[in-house]
Copies of this chain bind each other. A is one copy, B any other.
Amino acid sequence: MNQKLDEFKQRMSELTDLGRANAVVGWDQQVYMPHGGAEDRGYVLATMAGLAHDKLTCDEVGILLEELVPLAKQMDPDSDDACLILRVAHEFEKQTKVPREKVAEFAQATAMAEVAWEHARAEDDFKLFQADLEKIVELRREYASFFKPYDHVYDPLLDDFEPGLKTKEVKDIFGKLRTQQVALLQAIAQKPEINDSFLHVAYSEQAQWDFGVDVITRFGFDWNRGREDKSVHPFTTSFGIGDVRLTTRFMADNAPSSLFSTMHEGGHAMYEQGIDHSLDRSPLATGASMAVHESQSRLWENIIGRSKSFWKFFYPRLQKTFPAQLAGVSMEQYYRAINKVEPSFIRTEADEATYNLHIMLRLELEIALMEGSLQVKDLPEAWNARMKDYLGIVPPNNRLGVLQDVHWSSGLLGYFPTYALGNLVSAQLWEKIQSDIPTVEAQIEAGQFAELLAWLRLNIHRHGAKFEPQVLVKRVTGSTITPEPYMRYLTKKYSEIYGL
């Protein structure tokens, strides 16, 4: 049986290698590829994806799993081998339930939908995207049908990003969150607007880059095992525990954007760098889920990066780096500016108090589409109605509304909730960290992050994808994903800033 296990692991290592090659190819596509390479690069990525699918779903893996799964269930459930076998078995079961021609049909539909979406957004005409999105919803509903019986038609989609998580759980969490978050926003709306005009002037790109590098270096990003580059959309990718890459971008009219983005991606990257070496070259050498990954990026970007403790250390340095822009701006003014709350149309630019509302809106619409209670043609109207309800504003056009995100055109239904869940998990972890490391805020004020990072490594990073997200979060915090810590965090922070 050891021989079977070895063969299985060897196959999974090769599958991991293939995924990593694909990751390098995808990274280069976004970072350094010249225009002329686009067409051929598309073929390369498609071929590689097909090979990876074949390598996972082949008969040999199926036969090995049949023998190994019963064995895994008798092993210590925390052992690397048991976790590997069961996670791959779950993925194998999912991928083999979907006919190969359906995978190809969906890939083709999303490729066409992405073009249609870009066109529709440019023309600000939802109708140009409607038919393609209808096709995608239809195919996603069919996809879900391959997993019957299920508790909810949205479950199979959610499971692709949050293994084991159910729609009912997410609905419960978001139900509690929505009321409180809307109330907080309404209270803030009564208060005077914060002045953040000094953020929206020219800051040298090179100085921003250097400052961001200094910050994540102090956080603990290991430059011997990673690098940073520029790209249009910031992202993080891993080619192995020893080579994790992040990217950043610079926005002309929004200087802090690059720094917070660097801290965000740095959080993702340190997660990947912190996975235990025993899991390397296996499907477990990645994060537990999208939400757990997002908890790491949001912790560093928001809970730490937008905290007063952080800026007590870094603001004098920032002021010294940008004297012309910040000479007359106090630390308190700067802190308030980067935490300014303002309902806005675009999710990616939303502040902490409004961000989750953008997500809830999308989740509710996705569920309604999957349930069939909402038609694609009625989507713009439903979008705008919810914007009015949750944020009190209505987008003047669909480009600032229902057409703003690429996700649906890429077929990524089920993905949005992971962003908000990541926020919630970050606050759950933060409460636990504060309890385990009473001096953590003082350490941050001194620019010291080593103990904090060690805590994250010990409790989250090293486990890689061994545990399902709810299992991992409960193991670390004592509770599955829950909104209370996040609401406590938001309320405390904004009460102080806005004098609520």
Binding site for B on A (CB under 8 A): 13-14, 17-18, 20-22, 24-25, 27-28, 32-41, 43-44, 46-48, 50-51, 222-227, 229, 239-243, 280-281
The answer on a CB contact under 8 Å between B34 and A223 is yes
The answer on a CB contact under 8 Å between A227 and B32 is yes
Other CB < 8 Å A-B pairs besides A14-B50, A17-B44, A34-B227, 6 of them? Answer: A13-B47, A18-B51, A24-B24, A40-B243, A43-B281, A44-B240
Q: Which residues of B contact A242 (CB under 8 A)?
A: 34-40
Known: A24-B28, A34-B223. A241 touches B40 (CB 8 A): yes
The answer on a CB contact under 8 Å between B21 and A25 is yes
CB distance from A159 to the nearest CB of B (A): 28
Closest to A46 in B: B17
Q: Which one of B40, B50, B227 contacts A281 once the chains associate, using CB atoms below 8 Å?
A: B40
Closest to A13 in B: B43
Closest to A28 in B: B24
The answer on a CB contact under 8 Å between B239 and A36 is no
The answer on a CB contact under 8 Å between A34 and B241 is no
Q: Which one of B18, B33, B227 contacts A48 once the chains associate, using CB atoms below 8 Å?
A: B18
CB distance from A277 to the nearest CB of B (A): 10
Closest to A32 in B: B227
The answer on a CB contact under 8 Å between B28 and A226 is no
Known: A37-B243, A226-B34. A43 touches B17 (CB 8 A): yes
Q: Which residues of B contact A48 (CB under 8 A)?
A: 17-18, 21
Q: Which residues of B contact A281 (CB under 8 A)?
A: 40, 43
A-B CB contact pairs (8 Å), 10 listed: A21-B25, A24-B25, A32-B227, A34-B242, A35-B224, A37-B240, A38-B242, A39-B242, A40-B239, A41-B243
Q: Which residues of B contact A43 (CB under 8 A)?
A: 13, 17, 281
The answer on a CB contact under 8 Å between A21 and B44 is yes
**Bound Cα distance from A123 to B483, whole angstroms:** 63
CB distance from A145 to the nearest CB of B (A): 31
Q: Which residues of B contact A229 (CB under 8 A)?
A: 32
Closest to A43 in B: B17
Q: Which residues of B contact A223 (CB under 8 A)?
A: 34
Leading 8 A-B pairs by shortest Cβ distance? A37-B243, A40-B240, A36-B242, A36-B225, A17-B47, A17-B44, A14-B47, A36-B224
CB distance from A19 to the nearest CB of B (A): 9
**Bound Cα distance from A452 to B13, whole angstroms:** 49
CB distance from A231 to the nearest CB of B (A): 13
Q: Which residues of B contact A44 (CB under 8 A)?
A: 17, 20-21, 24, 239-240
Q: Which residues of B contact A17 (CB under 8 A)?
A: 43-44, 46-48
**Bound Cα distance from A37 to B21, whole angstroms:** 12
Q: Which residues of B contact A22 (CB under 8 A)?
A: 21
Q: Which residues of B contact A28 (CB under 8 A)?
A: 24, 27-28
Q: Which residues of B contact A38 (CB under 8 A)?
A: 242
Q: Which residues of B contact A24 (CB under 8 A)?
A: 21, 24-25, 28, 44
**Bound Cα distance from A36 to B223, whole angstroms:** 9
CB distance from A10 to the nearest CB of B (A): 10
CB distance from A197 to the nearest CB of B (A): 37
**Bound Cα distance from A280 to B41, whole angstroms:** 12
Q: Which residues of B contact A39 (CB under 8 A)?
A: 240, 242
CB distance from A71 to the nearest CB of B (A): 26
Known: A13-B43, A14-B47, A41-B240. A36 touches B280 (CB 8 A): no
**Bound Cα distance from A481 to B305, whole angstroms:** 66
**Bound Cα distance from A223 to B35, whole angstroms:** 9
Q: Which residues of B contact A27 (CB under 8 A)?
A: 28
The answer on a CB contact under 8 Å between B227 and A41 is no
Closest to A35 in B: B224
Q: Which residues of B contact A280 (CB under 8 A)?
A: 40
**Bound Cα distance from A49 to B457, whole angstroms:** 34
Q: Which residues of B contact A13 (CB under 8 A)?
A: 43, 47
CB distance from A442 to the nearest CB of B (A): 32
The answer on a CB contact under 8 Å between B20 and A225 is no
**Bound Cα distance from A222 to B51, whole angstroms:** 32
Q: Which residues of B contact A46 (CB under 8 A)?
A: 17
